Amino acid sequence: MKETAIEGILEIENQKARVQKQGGWQRLVEIVSRNPLVFIFAFFIIFPFIVPYKALATQIIIWGLFALGYNVCLGYTGMLSFGHAAYFGMGAYTAGIVLIRLLENIWFALFCGLLMGAVMAFILGYLCIKRRGIYFAMLTLAFAQLLYFVGFQWVDLTGGDNGLRNIPAVPLSIFGLSIDIYSPLRFYFFVLFFVALSLLAINLILQSPFGHVLQAVRENDQRAKSCGYETSNIRWLAFVISGAISGLAGGLYALYLHFVGIESLYWTTSGQVVMMTLLGGMGSFIGPFIGAGVFLYLEDVLSAITPNWMIFLGTVFVLCVLFFPAGIWGTIIDLTARRKR
Amino acid sequence: MSSNKRVTRREFLKRTGVIGGMAALGGFYTPKKSFAQAKEALKLGLPIPLTGPYGTEAKDQQAGAELAVAEINAKGGVLGRKVELLIRDDKLKADEAARRAKELIESEHVELMAGALSAANQLSINEQCKLHGIPYMSISQSNEITMRPDNSVYTYHEALDPHMTTQAVGEYVGKKYGKRWYFLTSDYAYGWQMTDGFRRKGKEYGIIDVGETKHPLGTSDYSSYMPRILAAKPDVLFLDNFGKDQINAVKQSTAFGLKKKMQIVCPVLLMSSRLGGGDEAFDGVIGGVSFYWESNHPTAKEFVKAFQKMHGRPPIDYAGYAYSGVKELLTGVIRAGGLDPVALATAIEGRTYDNYKGEQWWRPCDHQSQQDVFIIRSKKGKGEYDVFEIIATVSGKGERLLRTCVEVGQDPDKPIRSGLIKK
Amino acid sequence: MEWTAIVMQLFTGLSLGMLYVLLALGLSIIFGLLTVVNFAHGAMYMWGAFAGVATVAITGNFWLALLISPLVIGGYGLLVERTLIRPLYGRDINYPLLLTFGLQFIMIEIIRIFWGTSDRPFSAPASLSMPVEILGIFYFPSYRLFVIGITLMICIVLWIFLEKTNLGLVIRAGTRDPLMVRALGIDMRRIWWLVFGIGSALAGIAGILAAPIRSVFPEMGIAMLVECFVVVVVGGMGSLKGAILSGIIMGEASSITTLFYPQMADIVIFLVMAVVLLIRPSGLFGKAGLLE
């Protein structure tokens, strides 16, 4: 009896101590997850200096942006789309074609890419959004494949399987200045600018009432409907936003490579962004970037070691699905959140 | 007491875990500084599709390149510098090829580039090389790479292109076989170019174009095309496709009894296709190649011997391209006395050489290597690699197989200098 | 266009359709009962082909390979369900899809490691290599007739199994009302395990049947997978009748299109899908239970 009483008191004391001793790491993770944008920006400013080569950093943030856009669809709205290559690829081709044929202006080209992504998502969204779950995934996959075949055949416009080549390296014209942005470091910061803009935009959207409705729709579609929300329209709008960001990422990718390959429309591109998003963690800002970073870094490192690198990446992904469905960042948050109790 | 320990132990583990993670993160940054050497190595980048369906061909490209580099290094390297070959996997994807080229140029500071298998990859790597002013030796078939606007002073093409292949094969077939020609064309640039080339050559022999069927790239089931082909009653069936498509088409043509009624011709007949399809399927099929290892030509024998010594097997088509291409690039630098692109171009243009298959010549207006084409027939041989016999050689001399300079958008009287950038 | 060409085209469409039918049956069965989209189905098809290659390399006997392939792949399916998919039940419906998506890459790499990346020659047995005269009109490869025949046999066997056996009864009930079946005391998990195995075996046998027709290489399942999904979606996910009908329709659609406008052959199945889904959003035979 006495022992249990004493032990009980000790337990309370320990709990207090534990709460006070809430380690620096838990606090850090908490602060980071509350103010993700600040930390993301800060990290990305030093990022190109800590990776083996700057082009890899640029690649990571472009795909991170794509994954961010995709996350709006999967993580924040709960729709598993397997056809996002359509928006990425169309954005890339549009930006490239605009530069080659229409106007040698980067802002305009990127804007067109973003717009095309949105328009595509608008159209395909209309066709697919009524279906849920698996049917939705399969439909998005099939329509994206349709676009792939069209792009493949329309050689005059896209270059077909040879790809869209000879995208001019147009200097950036801003405030009357003409800046060459094509050195590795400069291009990285150029892309970072757009990534930052997109993050701010998405943040605004998600903090807004619309963002909260999105979450409600993800959690329980029926209940949201019974509250009077037109859920399919809401999901459609989220889909369009997702498509727009993916299109922007595609446009940036076209500028980065001076080239658009037909694979950017193939379902393996869609699959890759799904894997990245899951790997990093859905439903957060940081997750997609971590996913893109880990995926591309591993791929880079592993392909130098073995041609069979896919087996490691595939295994990591499978393990992730089995044991860490919240992804890397999601798991970190979970672990630290659990501690507080 | 114990709970305190628990806290600190977990804390400790967490801290070390995160610190370990940071250390690993710090390990991201691996400075690529080479030691101060007397002479830095000359780096040659080679992006090839090691993963994916053409891994075997890619390994042969690598093997050929390795042999060339080894030979040059044995003779003292390039201008006193050892040549270092940097192999990368481009996964047969054009954007991956561009990434790899970027990495090789920006991170590894390669000064020369060779490689690629698919036409798309050659072109995308070429884009990167043009952007950074790196000489690039393309070692696989492509019609566009020697044309405006893709071509440049930095671009060199050692391999055959679809046009040359079809002129050579078309010439042989036009002389020997019947006049009714049917084309099974893979529906992309490669296929179209092959068919166009055959039609062009066929006109000289008064052939009758009895039909063409375009099939999507990657078709595995050709049964739907058989009725049309049979109904057209051709003398010759051209399979203008590549790799797996070709294997499937040949297998299924055989299964449908087509060989009894017509001669099957594959414009590019690769050993890997033949090995993948088997001797029964390919029995009686003829086609064109750039090189076959049982050739009697003296330099071929030397090449095969050296290759066999280094790699334990005879070289196949792509190994030859890689070997000769890399050798030309490196010896070109030696003759030019440096890496200035114009000096290099001048050293290579107009040169007649014979590395492994017969006489070749660099045409100045577009950096295309003029060469002969061999006509081969599949046979059931004694050894594992004894699968073809060379039944004819079509000469490439005098630009007879090439498109004219004007046709490819270049000036016939001047060497190509377009795309030159200031570095 | 001669009518003989059209008839021949219909036959080729039928044999093409048979492969689709086998694959779609497997996918549909798995989805109908487990609501799992097996993204690794194409890889299992590919493994079936390679299992055939391996068996023939060791024994030289095609018929033995025909027997062994589905058994091996079926067994592998049992393993996968037990270890990888079962832990995911109860979670979001998308997880098994994602897992099998990753799994297929691992499966492809394993084959690449052991067999390399190039094609494997594989021929039909000598007894089936000769073309056969059909109706005195044209020649048709006897092997493809064999494929048509054996697929029909498999469909019949499957039908008997589902209609006439107790286990089949449980499976059919399980697709309609899993809760009730459990309330009756039957452990659905064993059934799920078994059905996943059956579905995988179907993919495996499709693989080895396809091997003499098409080339055998590690990526052979990737393109097939997407086409397979389209077939299943058109037929109605979970419907066997739908899978069979849709497979045949798609095979014929592809074949007839090739006759008249070959460039569209790839796209036509997507167009058919778009049209069908706009009219009947759940596919031809919708979401009802099996064999309905």
| Per-residue confidence (pLDDT) for residue C134, from 0 to 100 | 66
Residue A276 has pLDDT above 80, yes or no: yes
For residues A340 and B403, which has the higher predicted lDDT (pLDDT)? B403
Q: Which of C31, C94, C112 lies nearest to residue A308, judging by beta carbons?
A: C112
- As a whole number, mean pLDDT of residues A179-187 equals 81
User: CB distance from A161 to chain B under 8 Å?
Assistant: yes
For residues C292 and A79, which has the higher predicted lDDT (pLDDT)? A79
**Nearest CA-CA distance, residue B170 and chain A, Å:** 25
Residue range B152-183, pLDDT digits in tens: 999 999 999 999 999 999 999 999 999 999 99
Q: C135: pLDDT confidence band, cut at 50, 70 and 90?
A: low
Contact A53 B29 (CB under 8 A): no
Contact C237 A134 (CB under 8 A): yes
**Nearest CA-CA distance, residue A311 and chain C, Å:** 5
Q: Residue C146 corresponds to which tokens in the numbers above?
A: 């064999």
Q: C287: pLDDT confidence band, cut at 50, 70 and 90?
A: low
Residues of C in contact with A318 (CB under 8 A): 84, 99, 102-103, 106
Residue B11 has pLDDT above 50, yes or no: no
Burial status of residue B230 (CB atoms within 10 A of its CB: 0-12, 13-18, 19 or more): buried
| Per-residue confidence (pLDDT) for residue C137, from 0 to 100 | 62
Residue A180 has pLDDT above 50, yes or no: yes
Contact C263 B224 (CB under 8 A): no
Residue C7 has pLDDT above 60, yes or no: yes
Overall fold of domain A28-340: ABC transporter involved in vitamin B12 uptake, BtuC (1.10.3470)
Residues of A in contact with B15 (CB under 8 A): 23, 25
Per-range mean pLDDT, top range of A74-78, A132-136, B314-318 = B314-318
**Nearest CA-CA distance, residue C78 and chain B, Å:** 29
- As a whole number, mean pLDDT of residues A275-289 equals 87
Residues of C in contact with A146 (CB under 8 A): 267, 270-271, 274
The CATH classification number of B163-289 equals: 3.40.50.2300
Per-range mean pLDDT, top range of A210-214, A325-329, B367-371 = B367-371
Residue-averaged pLDDT of chain B: 86
Residue A226 has pLDDT above 90, yes or no: no
| Per-residue confidence (pLDDT) for residue C263, from 0 to 100 | 73
Interface of A with C in 133-162 (CB under 8 A): 133-135, 137-139, 141-143, 145-146, 149-150, 153
**Chain C, nearest residue to B258 by Cα:** C139
| Per-residue confidence (pLDDT) for residue A98, from 0 to 100 | 93
| Per-residue confidence (pLDDT) for residue A17, from 0 to 100 | 58
Residue matched to tokens 């606007």: B149
- As a whole number, mean pLDDT of residues B29-33 equals 42
Whether the model clears a pTM of 0.80, i.e. scores above it, the answer is: yes
| Per-residue confidence (pLDDT) for residue B35, from 0 to 100 | 41
Residue range A21-38, pLDDT digits in tens: 556 777 777 777 777 788
| Per-residue confidence (pLDDT) for residue C136, from 0 to 100 | 61
What H or E segment, with its residue span, contains residue B62?
Answer: helix B55-74
Residue C70 has pLDDT above 60, yes or no: yes
Residue range C185-222, pLDDT digits in tens: 888 888 889 999 999 999 999 999 998 887 788 888 88
Residue range C102-116, pLDDT digits in tens: 999 999 999 988 887
Contact A150 C267 (CB under 8 A): yes
| Per-residue confidence (pLDDT) for residue B190, from 0 to 100 | 87
| B342 three-class SS | helix
CATH 3.40.50.2300 range(s) for chain B read 42-160+294-371, 163-289
Which chains does A contact via 3+ CB–CB distances below 8 A?
B, C
A193 and A45 in contact (C-beta within 8 Å)? no
Q: CA-CA distance, B332 to B349, in Å (whole number)?
A: 9
Q: C136's torsion region: left (phi>0), alpha (psi -120 to 50) or beta?
A: left
Residues of A in contact with C108 (CB under 8 A): 310
- As a whole number, mean pLDDT of residues A129-158 equals 84
| Per-residue confidence (pLDDT) for residue C97, from 0 to 100 | 87
Its CATH architecture, for the domain B42-160+294-371, is 3-Layer(aba) Sandwich (3.40)
Q: Which of C37, C91, C101 lies nearest to residue A134, judging by beta carbons?
A: C37
CA dihedral C217, C221, C223, C229 (to 10 degrees): 170
% chain C with pLDDT above 90: 33
Residue C232 has pLDDT above 70, yes or no: yes
Residues of C in contact with B247 (CB under 8 A): 119, 215
Cα B248–chain centre separation = 21
Residues of B in contact with C121 (CB under 8 A): 275-278, 281
Q: C19: pLDDT confidence band, cut at 50, 70 and 90?
A: very high
- As a whole number, mean pLDDT of residues A206-219 equals 84
| C198 three-class SS | helix
Residue A70 has pLDDT above 60, yes or no: yes
| Per-residue confidence (pLDDT) for residue B3, from 0 to 100 | 41
User: CB distance from B50 to chain A under 8 Å?
Assistant: yes
Residue-averaged pLDDT of chain C: 85
B210 and B232 in contact (C-beta within 8 Å)? yes
Mutate to test the interface with A, among B1, B28, B142, B143 (most CBs of A within 10 A): B28
Residue A299 has pLDDT above 50, yes or no: yes
| Per-residue confidence (pLDDT) for residue B2, from 0 to 100 | 38
Contact B227 C4 (CB under 8 A): yes
Q: B236: pLDDT confidence band, cut at 50, 70 and 90?
A: very high
C118 and C217 in contact (C-beta within 8 Å)? yes
Residue B264 has pLDDT above 70, yes or no: yes
Residues of B in contact with C223 (CB under 8 A): 218, 220
Residue C281 has pLDDT above 80, yes or no: no
Residue-averaged pLDDT of chain A: 85
Residue C178 has pLDDT above 60, yes or no: yes
- As a whole number, mean pLDDT of residues B53-67 equals 90
Residue B27 has pLDDT above 60, yes or no: no
% chain B with pLDDT above 90: 55
CA dihedral C111, C114, C118, C123 (to 10 degrees): -80
Residue range C242-262, pLDDT digits in tens: 899 999 999 999 888 877 877
Residue B8 has pLDDT above 50, yes or no: no
HEC readout, chain A = CHHHHHHHHHHHHHHHHHHHCCCHHHHHHHHHHHCHHHHHHHHHHHHHHCCCCHHHHHHHHHHHHHHHHHHHHHCCCCCCCCCCHHHHHHHHHHHHHHHHHHCCCHHHHHHHHHHHHHHHHHHHHHHHCCCCHHHHHHHHHHHHHHHHHHHHHCHHHHCHHHCECCCCCCCEEECCEEECCCCHHHHHHHHHHHHHHHHHHHHHHHHCHHHHHHHHHHHCHHHHHHCCCCHHHHHHHHHHHHHHHHHHHHHHHHHHHCCECHHHHCHHHHHHHHHHHHHHCCCCCHHHHHHHHHHHHHHHHHHHHCCCCHHHHHHHHHHHHHHCCCHHHHHHHHHHHHHHC
